[in-house]
Amino acid sequence: MKYLFGPVPSRRLGQSLGVDVIPLKSCNWNCIYCQLGRSVPMTNERRAYFPKEEILAEAREFLATYDLGEIDWLTFVGSGEPTLHSDLGWLIRQIKTLADLPVAVCTNGALLYLPEVRQALLAADAVMPTVCAGTAELYWHIHRPYPGLTFERLVEGLSAFRGEYHGQLWAEVMLLGDLNDTEEALRGTARLLALLKPDQVHIALPNRPPAETWVQPPDEEGLMRALAILGQSAEVLHPAQGSFELGKDDDIVTAIVGIITRHPMSQADLERALDRWSPDKVDQALIELGASGQAQVVERHGVRFWSASPAVYPDEVESQAVSPETLRPRLRYHRLWPDRPKG
């Protein structure tokens, strides 16, 4: 599939079917923690990046093949900032007519100061903006926004949206060690959250390879401090447990690329997702994936992650194009899954 991916497991949304309306990596922030790497170059242009009719047609076709009990939410999230797509409001409204499922939007919130962007999101059942900093200095350091997207504009937009929106507002705080986990930083974030009055506050941790290698998760003390300061509605989002659905397509390579372009996967998660295929098919698919130049392997603290080749990570990260020569010795899935069928 070109625009949809998953369903993928989510602590907030159960089994979430992703809808991606932005090419990798079209974003107006260049966050130091982003799992999709650096935004090179950044963009703040709102336009129809993909034809809205094509996205809707793919959603209609995809949903027709699934029992709705297999999906909990339809979520606009993926390769960049979804509010950059000028037809997002139309897509939210139309996709809600296809199935009796709630719709969520993950956004950095940077464009909510624009009335047309706030209007576009009003039809969503849940909107999840990023709130990682309570001061302009920390905002610039963590998010490295496009010129003109000031902290003041962010607060202005979030406040205006809170006054207009009647769905669920869930603020996400990406907690970073020695950055926004100090008492001073957390009290600033808490003041902003008190202004916004979100229905829930979700504390996320940088579990996947961040754009910058020096980014670290908080220690236990920092995490406990965040829970104490950010209020009773705050909860920590640990990695979700569940199955990554790679689609009901026999083309394994296409299915894998569809996920890792929006959601880099650890080797362990990828192995579990491929469990329904035979070891021989998996071996061949991963070799083909590497040979096609569509994937790269990023290692972080000894954990191997698969990501799309266009994603930009700094040189300090051990990131490599995957070739048949480097990959073939690592494919030993029959040892990992001794009870799996051979055909």
Q: What is the pLDDT of residue 171?
A: 97
Distance CA 137, CA 204 (A): 21
Q: What is the pLDDT of residue 332?
A: 35
Res 120 pLDDT > 60: yes
What residues make up the domain containing 271? 265-336
Closest listed residue to residue 75, CA positions, set 117, 12, 136, 26 = 12
> Is there a single domain that holds both residue 47 and residue 84?
yes
> Is there a single domain that holds both residue 20 and residue 151?
yes
- The answer to the question of residue 193 being in a domain is yes
> Is there a single domain that holds both residue 228 and residue 149?
yes
The strand pairing partners of 14, in sequence order, are 10
Scanning the structure block, which residue is given the tokens 């401090």? 225
Distance CA 125, CA 303 (A): 35
Distance CA 84, CA 91 (A): 13
> Is there a single domain that holds both residue 200 and residue 304?
no
- What burial class does residue 91 get, using C-beta atoms within 10 Å of its C-beta: 0-12 exposed, 13-18 middle, 19+ buried? buried
Distance CA 343, CA 340 (A): 9
- The answer to the question of residue 258 being in a domain is no
SS3 188: helix
Helix spans in the chain (H): 52-64, 88-95, 115-121, 136-143, 151-164, 183-196, 220-229, 252-260, 267-273, 279-291, 324-327, 333-336
Scanning the structure block, which residue is given the tokens 């300061």? 229
Measure the N-to-C terminal CA separation of the chain; round to a whole number of Å. 25
Closest listed residue to residue 44, CA positions, set 21, 26, 28 = 28
Distance CA 118, CA 127 (A): 11
SS3 284: helix
Average model confidence (pLDDT) across the chain: 84
Mean pLDDT check: name the lowest of 64-73, 87-96, 294-303, 315-324.
315-324
pLDDT tens, residue by residue, 208-265:
888 898 999 999 999 999 999 998 889 998 765 555 565 555 577 777 777 777 777 7
> Is there a single domain that holds both residue 44 and residue 119?
yes
> Is there a single domain that holds both residue 80 and residue 206?
yes
- The answer to the question of residue 244 being in a domain is no
Res 333 pLDDT > 70: no
Q: What is the pLDDT of residue 57?
A: 97
Cβ neighbours of 320 (radius 10 Å): 13
- Cα 185 to chain centroid, rounded: 24
- The answer to the question of residue 251 being in a domain is no
Q: Are strands 234-237 and 295-300 parallel, antiparallel or unpaired?
A: unpaired
> Is there a single domain that holds both residue 158 and residue 277?
no
- The answer to the question of residue 102 being in a domain is yes
Closest listed residue to residue 282, CA positions, set 254, 253, 242 = 253
> Is there a single domain that holds both residue 317 and residue 180?
no
Q: What is the pLDDT of residue 327?
A: 41
> Is there a single domain that holds both residue 99 and residue 159?
yes
Q: What is the pLDDT of residue 249?
A: 54
pLDDT tens, residue by residue, 184-212:
999 999 999 999 999 999 999 988 888 89
Cβ neighbours of 183 (radius 10 Å): 12
Res 158 pLDDT > 80: yes
What's the total number of domains in the chain? 2
> Is there a single domain that holds both residue 183 and residue 274?
no
CA distances to 121, 139, 156, 341 from 108, in Å = 13, 12, 14, 44
Distance CA 19, CA 62 (A): 11
User: Residue 320: which H helix or E strand, with range?
Assistant: strand 318-321
Q: Using an 8 Å Cβ cutoff, are 303 and 16 in contact?
A: no
Res 94 pLDDT > 90: yes
- The answer to the question of residue 257 being in a domain is no
> Is there a single domain that holds both residue 201 and residue 270?
no
- The answer to the question of residue 248 being in a domain is no
Distance CA 19, CA 36 (A): 16
- The answer to the question of residue 245 being in a domain is no
Mean pLDDT value of segment 279-303: 75
> Is there a single domain that holds both residue 33 and residue 180?
yes
Assign residue 53 the CATH number of its domain.
3.20.20.70
